[in-house]
A = this chain, B = another copy of it.
Amino acid sequence: MLKKKLKSVSLNQIQIEDKFWKEYMELVRNHVIPYQWEALNDRIENAEPSYCIQNFRVAAKQQEGIFQGMVFQDSDVYKWLEAVAYSLMWCPDEKLEQTADETIELIAAAQQPDGYLDTYYIINGLEKRFTNLMDHHELYCLGHMIEAAVAYYKATGKDRFLQTAIAYANCVSENLGTEPGKIPGYPGHEVAEMALVALYGITKDERHLKLAKYFVDQRGQAPLFFDEECKKNQNTCYWDDTYMKKQYYQAGKPVREQDKAEGHAVRAVYLYSGMADVASETEDEKLFEACEKLWDNIVKKQMYVTGAIGSTQHGEAFTFDYDLPNDTIYAETCAAIGLIFFARRMFEITKNGKYMDIAERALYNGVISGMSLDGKKFFYVNPLEVNPEASLKDYNKMHVKPERQKWFGCACCPPNVARLLSSIGGYAFECDDNSLYMNLFIGGVIELLLGGEKNTIRVETNYPWDGRVAVTVENGAPCEFTYAVRLPEWCENYTLTVNGEKAEYMAENGYALLKRNWNNGDRIDLCMEMPVTVVEANPHVREDIGKVAVMRGPLVYCLEEEDNGAQLQEIYLDEKLQFAEQYEEDLLKGVVTLKAEGKRVSGKGWNTDTLYRAYSGKQYQEQTLKFIPYYAWANRGIGEMEVWVRI
């Protein structure tokens, strides 16, 4: 049975009340969404124009002009609308909703009679549409349109956008496929697969599931469609000259035969998410097995300790097993987000906490590192080691910025962060009719039917700084349901009580299943010990040999030059591994910092005239090291940073 057992609690049933996350959500609502709206409308001074809204106006013949921006520029509007939809669910805002409605009207106005909707081809000539599925992102835009439309429909109940998306989906369905007269193509940049399954969840229109399944099944079948398309339309494929070839697009062989994550990392995890969705809906065991293999390959061979993925800038791609360089890394924020999408689907199918362990790791480290603490600047690339001089002068590291940037020409990461953070509640809590899964430890109030009764669940916690989580149940009448508490992989010792008494529960797949008759006022207390843990990487990871990473709870820590001086490579952590933890209210919006004994390679005897000398044994001077949470790095100016510390 691959049918999903759980679904996210709807965002309008959750009120997040959590010091850590609410602030992020408010940053998105108050800064990111309005800022992006200005960007989409080319009203940001000194920034490259987006042309997004303008392209739609031109396509809708409301304005004269040419298409400008990237070929996938439309998708930025869709991602913005998706973030808006989530935000409206937990914080209604008439004016914002009106702006969204107007934007949706504009989008609809650009739609062609047969449902087609991609401003690049509408403006540049429809006769050319569907001639470069490999690189021209028409189906990527379709995917993001559907995801936004589904979200907006759920948020507002309005179906204008949904109908627009359905019309485009149906147009694609008419034109693509293996049937005679159709183009046997599929997306160059995946996302439509999972989007179509989500659409199917609402429409129950078999065409939508069929199209998703077709995209998955057809991908990489011989003869390779992208090869044929190139020949037919005289397109050229940049990646044919690389070792990746069509695996850059995960399209070098049928997806069921793929067992290593390869190619562009964001595309890859978006595809795998879609594969999981299709496998679930169609009960396709073989396809699900491929998902499991790909998952295993990522998390056991190709994932950074921060949950980041994508080892190289070249193709923003996966490379090979155990190749995890820290300073030439790509680790795109969007890729870590995509890994969370994949994790969530695998969890919903299996109810296995191991997937949420990875989702939590990526979320608290590789994703939120992507946004500055003031919500105004963003990392595309999330390195585990930075030397600012190298970022300026080493071509291999120029993509690794030592400070977050205001906006990007290719603005995929900021809106992706926005849509994730404004829907974070849905990742934290999943449910079925008789159980509620607490996947992430986020404070808030959830109202939902469980065991046939309306329950109000109140979660209080100071996570990730503290491992205590209190849950209280309020209901009108006692009812039986399962409250499933995730026992994270990082946690070795915990206590779990109900109403102050040791709880009886079944431990299954990383969850404590508290199944009982719940009375009004019942209280669950989870108390996870949260000592500092020090981890090492598999010795096959060349870059991490002789080094360790410091963690506490779900958080990966790092050293910054600001606290520890420059030349971080000279620093060694002492084997004693004794850490002094301190919550510093005024530092980085409040973080627990860690201090430990360490040492630094002695500069004694070295001067600037000596590059090499006879080795005379190891010489160090003592130094107290100060670690801060990785996600908060680069919020105090430019300096060196490293996660993996020598020991």
**Which of A's residues lie within 8 Å of B, judged by CB?**
242-243, 296, 299-301, 303, 305, 311-315, 319-320, 323, 328, 387, 389-390, 392-396, 533-542, 545-546, 548-549, 567, 569-570, 575, 577, 601, 603, 606, 608-615, 617-618, 646-647
Cα distance A608–B260 when bound, in Å? 14
Chain B residues with CB under 8 Å of A243's CB are 392-393
B533–A601 touching, CB < 8 Å: no
Asked if A646 contacts B612 (CB within 8 A), the reply is: no
Distance of A613 Cα from B544 Cα, bound (Å): 13
**CB of A319, distance to nearest CB on chain B (Å):** 5
9 contacts between A and B (CB under 8 A): A243-B393, A311-B394, A319-B393, A320-B390, A328-B396, A535-B615, A539-B570, A542-B569, A575-B618
Count chain B CB atoms within 10 A of each CB in A303, A545, A606 and give the residue with the most.
A545
From B314, B545, B601, B611, give the contact of A569 (CB < 8 A): B545
**Given A243-B393, A392-B243, A393-B243: A538 in contact with B612 (beta carbons within 8 A):** yes
Residues on B with beta carbons closer than 8 Å to the beta carbon of A617: 575
Q: Which single member of B539, B612, B646 contacts A545 (CB below 8 Å)?
A: B646
| A contact face: mostly helix, strand, loop, or mixed | loop
CB of B535 within 8 A of CB of A614, answer yes
Contact assessment for A539 and B393 in the assembled complex, using a CB-CB cutoff below 8 Å: no
Q: How many protomers of this protein does the assembly include?
A: 2
A614 touching B534 by the CB < 8 A rule?
yes
Tell me the bound Cα distance from A603 to B570 in angstroms.
Answer: 26
Closest to A616 in B: B536
What is the bound-complex CA distance between A387 and B320, given in angstroms?
12
Distance between A164 CB and nearest chain B CB, rounded to angstroms: 40
* Residues in chain B near residue A608, CB distance under 8 A: 300-301
Please give the distance in Å from A611's CB to the nearest CB on chain B.
5
Which residues of chain B are within 8 angstroms of A390 by Cβ–Cβ distance? 320, 323
Given the known interface contacts A242-B395, A312-B395, A393-B323, the answer about A387 and B612 at a Cβ–Cβ threshold of 8 Å is no
Q: Given A396-B312, A612-B535: A567 and B540 within 8 A (CB)?
A: yes
Residue in B242, B395, B601 whose CB lies within 8 Å of A314: B395
Within the complex, what minimum Cβ distance (angstroms) separates A503 from chain B? 26
Whether the Cβ atoms of B569 and A615 lie closer than 8 Å is: no
Quick one: which of B395, B601, B609, B615 contacts A548, CB cutoff 8 A?
B615
Residues of B within 8 Å of A395, CB to CB, are 242, 312-315
Say yes or no: A610-B538 contact (C-beta < 8 A), given A320-B393, A394-B319, A394-B323: yes
With beta carbons under 8 angstroms apart, the residue of B296, B535, B539 that contacts A606 is B539
User: Which B residues lie within 8 Å of A387 (CB)?
Assistant: 542
Q: Name the B residues within 8 Å of A534 (CB-CB).
A: 614-615
